[in-house]
Amino acid sequence: MRLMHTKLPDFIRRIREASVKNTPDMKLEIKGMENVQSAKLQSLRTGRIVNAVEEMAVSEGVDHMEILIRPRMPETMHTVIIKGYDKDGKAKKAIVETVDMLVPTEELDLFDCEEVIDRRPKMTVYSKI
């Protein structure tokens, strides 16, 4: 069944398959999803990413690949749960806090590239509509 949103394991699998579809020896490293246990990802975007991975794999001079998944927003607000367990592993208590995190934008990963093709649609500031 086709879903509007793709399951995380399918997202990873499809990227890996795309990298070796036409280039069986292609080495691929995915960075940035290490702590994501479960997620649904946009299916249309997943298809575009899969196509881009295939395209990159057959690009002239490409020997190996990285997929870097970074927050699009460079400042994000996070919930922090401080959780205590008893000796039997039963959760006793939680304190919930918040923290804002500022991270570099994608330029940091792009400075060393000879060519950058940016296919992202512009973000919409909804208050401007």
Partner 1 sequence: MAQLKYKLLPENSAGGILPLNVAIVDYADIQQCGLTMPQACQIVADNVDGPTAINIMDLTAVTTTSDGIMVPSAIRAMAASDRGKIHPEFGYIPMAEIEHSEALIQKEPHLRQWDINYPGRRLFRGPDVADKPVPVHNVVITGRACNNNSGTEMMHLVTMGEILMPYIGQHVIASGEGKLLTGMSGEHLSVGIGMTTAEKFGRVFSTYRYRAGDTAHGSGAQAKTLKRDIPCIVASKATHAGFVIAALKAGMVPGRDIGCSPVNLAIARAMHLPIDYDNITPRAWLELESVGFSREYLETPVPKLTEAEVLEHADEILPGVDNPQLHTIDELVQTCWAEVKA
Which of 100, 113, 119, 121 is in the footprint of partner 1 by CB under 8 A?
100
Q: Does 127 bind partner 1 (CB under 8 A)?
A: yes
Q: How far apart are CA 83 and CA 95, in angstroms?
A: 7
* Least Cβ distance, residue 103 to partner 1 (angstroms): 6
Which of 1, 81, 82, 102 is in the footprint of partner 1 by CB under 8 A?
102
Q: Does 105 bind partner 1 (CB under 8 A)?
A: yes
Q: Where are the beta strands (DSSP E) in 16-74?
A: 27-31, 40-42, 64-68
Contact between 82 and 41 (Cβ < 8 Å):
no
HSE (side-chain half, CA atoms, 13 Å) at 129: 4
> Which listed range, 17-25, 54-62, 82-90, 117-125, lies at the site for partner 1 (CB under 8 A)?
117-125
Residues 13-72 that bind partner 1 (CB under 8 A): none
Q: How far apart are CA 86 and CA 127, in angstroms?
A: 47
Nearer to partner 1, 92 or 120 (CB): 120
Burial bucket for residue 90 (CB in 10 Å: 0-12, 13-18, 19+): exposed
Residues that bind partner 1 (CB under 8 A): 73-77, 100, 102-105, 107-108, 111, 122-123, 125, 127-128
